[in-house]
Amino acid sequence: MNTHISLLAGAVLIFLSSCATTKYITPEFTTTSKIYDLYVGMTEQELINVLAIQPYEISYNVNQGEKVLTWYYRKPHHEVKSSKQDSELVLDPQVMKFKEEGVLHVYIKEGKLTNFFTDSGQKQSENLIKVSQKLAN
CATH (domain of 68): 3.30.1450.10
Query: Do the domain assignments include residue 42?
Result: yes
Query: Do the domain assignments include residue 51?
Result: yes
Query: Do the domain assignments include residue 3?
Result: no
Q: What is the pLDDT along the chain (137 residues), one digit of tens a residue?
A: 566 666 666 665 565 555 555 555 555 888 888 989 999 999 999 999 999 889 988 999 888 889 999 988 887 766 666 655 566 655 555 666 667 778 899 999 999 999 888 887 766 676 767 777 777 76
Query: Do the domain assignments include residue 6?
Result: no
**Tally of structural domains, the chain:** 1
Query: Do the domain assignments include residue 18?
Result: no
Mind spelling out the 3-state secondary structure of 69-127? EEEEEEEEECCCCCCCCCCHHHHCCCCCEEEEEEEEEEEEECCEEEEEEEHHHHHHHHH
Query: Do the domain assignments include residue 7?
Result: no
Query: Do the domain assignments include residue 88?
Result: no
CB 76 within 8 A of CB 97: yes
pTM of the model: 0.60
Query: Do the domain assignments include residue 13?
Result: no
Domain span at residue 64 reads: 23-81+93-136
CA distances from 31 to 39, 91, 108, 110 (A): 15, 21, 20, 26
